[in-house]
A and B are shown apart, each in its own frame.
Chain A
C-alpha cells in the first residue's frame, strides 16, 4: 500500500512536469514582447533592451525554461504585463469560485444521474428504459454552454426565479445545473450497465431466495456494488467537468477560472492563459491521485502492484 502511494505520487509529479513543459513550449510560440507592453509603443530601442535584459528575455530558451520551472516549483506563475498583476494572484483568487461551482455541478450530476441509471436498469427494455436511454444520449449530445444559455433565458429571464448571473449561492444553481444535466448522462449510463452486471451475480439471487424484498435487494446488494465503477468514473471525469465549467461560467458572470480565461482570451494574454491551463491541469492530476488513493483504501480488491 505504501509503495503504491509512493509510485502513484512519483507518477503524478512526472505528469505535472510534462504538462509544465508542453505548456511552456506551446506558449513560447507567441511572438508577444512583454518589454513593449511595459515600456509602451514609443519606447527607445535602448529602453526595450534594458527591460529585456532585466526580465532575462535575452537569455537562451533553455535558461528561461529552467527559470520558469524554478518559479513554478515555488508557486509563482510569473507576472502578467497586460493585467499588471501576478498570474498566481489572479488564478488563486478565481479558483475557489470554480471549485464552489464544481461541487454544485457534481451534486446535480449525482442527483440526476444515479436515479436515472437505477430506474433504467430495473425497468430494462421497457418504455421507460428506452425513453431514459434516449434522454441520456440527448444529454451527452448537447453542448454544456448551450444548456446554460437556455436555462438563462427560460429560468432566469422568462420565469425570473433565479438570478441572471453574478456570484451568490442562488446564482450557482443554473450554471451548476447546466453542467449537471450534460454530465449526469455519463453517470446514468455507467450505473445502468453496472447495475445490470451486478443483478446477474449469484449473491443477488441468494438474497432474493432468502426472501428479502426486491427493494431491499436492490438498495443493499445491487446498487451499493454497482456504485464502484461510478466512483472510478468520478475521478476520470474531472477534466470534462472543468472544461464544462470553464465555458459555462462566462454566461452567468461567475468570476471563476473560466471567466478569467475568457478575459485572457479576449486580451490575447498568453501568460495568463498558460497560467490557468497549468494550474487547472495540475489540479486535475492531483485530484486523480487523491481519488486513486481513496479508492485503494475503499476497495480491497484493487491491486497495488
Chain B
C-alpha cells in the first residue's frame, strides 16, 4: 500500500489526544462505506416496520374481488401505487402492501429473539466466567451440549408441538435455543476482564461480587457481544422466514415474507415475481444487519481487518 505522508502539526496532535474513545470509534465506523450502508438499510427497515400502516397503499389482509384475473390468476404489476403496484397474490391481496407489513414481523422476531438470546447467554456466560472452577465447568459443559444441537431442527420440533401459536411463540422458540454462542463469548470476555485492575479497584472500594459483575464487568465486555447480536438479528430474521415458509411460522393473518414465498412457489410458472419480491425484502433486511455487524466489528477491533 502507498504511504500517505502528512506533516503533523502540534494542533493535530493535541486534537488527536482530545478525542474520546467514542469519537475515535465513530470515525473508524463512518470511514467504512459498507458499514454506513448497513446502518441506512437497518434504519430504513425499522422505519418501514414502524410506519407500515401509514405507508401501505392498500389493506394487505383483504382479498380484492378485482385482485385476480377472470381465470383466478394473480395480477401482474400495474406500477400504480394505489392499485396493485406490484400485482397481487393468488388470493387477490396487494403484493406491495403485504411486503410492507411483512417488515413488522421480521423486525419484531429478529429483535425480540435476539434480546431473549442475549439475556440468557450473557447471564450464563458472565456467571460462568466470574465464578470459574467447578461451576464454570458445569455451565460450559452444558453450553457445549446446547451448542451441539442443530438449531433449526429444534426450533421446528419445539414450534410444531406448541398449540395456538402467536408471534411471541415464534420469537421465544427461536430465542431460547440460540444462547450458547453468546454464553461462550460472554464467558471468555469475563474471564479476561476478571483479572483487570478496575475489578481489583472496585473490590478494594468494597463492591460486592454481583455489583462488580453487573456494574463494572458488564459494560466492558459488551463490544463483541453487540457484534454477535447484530449478526444474530440477521440470522433470526432468516429463521423466522424459514419457519413461515415451512408453514409453522407466525399464525394467519399475520403477513410474513416466508409465507409469501411459499405461496408464490405454487405460481412460479406464471408469476415468478411473487417469489422474487419477498426474497429481496429478506435479503435487504439481513444484508443491513450483516453489514452493520461487520462494520461494528472492524470499528471495535481496528487491527482485525488488516
Contacts and interface: CB of A to CB of B under 8 A. Distances in A.
Interface of A: 11, 14-15, 18-19, 22-23, 26-27, 29-31, 125, 134, 137-138, 140-143, 145-146, 149-150, 152-153, 157-158, 196, 239, 242-243, 246-247, 250-251, 261-262, 265-266, 268, 270, 273-274, 276-277, 280-281, 284-285, 288
Q: Name the prevailing secondary structure of the A interface residues.
A: helix
B1 to A, nearest CB: 7
22 contacts: A19-B145, A19-B148, A22-B154, A26-B158, A27-B157, A141-B283, A143-B238, A146-B283, A153-B275, A157-B268, A239-B149, A239-B152, A239-B153, A243-B153, A247-B152, A262-B246, A265-B247, A265-B248, A266-B247, A277-B156, A281-B149, A285-B148
Contact of B157 (A26, A143, A158, A284): A26
A140 B148 CA distance: 21
Contacts of A285: 148
A284 B265 contact: no
A146 B282 CA distance: 9
Looking at B145, B157, B290, which has the most chain A CB atoms within 10 Å of its CB?
A: B157
Interface of B: 1, 34, 144-145, 148-154, 156-158, 160-163, 234, 238, 241-242, 245-248, 258, 261, 264-265, 268-269, 272, 275-276, 279, 282-283, 286-287, 290-291, 294, 306
A243 B161 contact: no
Contacts of A268: 160
Q: Which of A14, A29, A277, A281 has the most CB of B within 10 A?
A: A277
A247 B242 contact: yes
Nearest to B279: A146
Given A146-B261, A262-B246, A284 B287 contact: no
A277 B274 CA distance: 31
A125 B32 CA distance: 12
B279 A242 contact: no
Given A125-B1, A153-B268, A285-B148, A27 B161 contact: yes
Contact of B242 (A14, A15, A143, A284): A143
B261 A140 contact: no
Interface of chain B, main secondary structure:
helix
Nearest to A276: B153
Contacts of B152: 239, 243, 246-247
Contacts of B283: 138, 141-143, 146
Q: Ordered nearest first, which 9 A-B pairs have the shortest CB separation?
A: A243-B152, A239-B150, A146-B279, A141-B286, A141-B287, A153-B272, A29-B161, A30-B161, A18-B145
A30 B157 CA distance: 11
Nearest to B285: A141
Nearest to A280: B153
A188 to B, nearest CB: 14
Nearest to B154: A277
Given A15-B145, A143-B241, A246 B153 contact: yes
B291 to A, nearest CB: 6
Given A138-B283, A149-B268, 14 more contacts: A19-B148, A23-B157, A26-B154, A27-B157, A137-B287, A143-B238, A143-B245, A143-B258, A143-B279, A150-B276, A262-B246, A277-B150, A277-B153, A285-B148
A11 B286 CA distance: 35
A19 B146 CA distance: 9
Contacts of A145: 242, 245, 261
Nearest to A134: B34
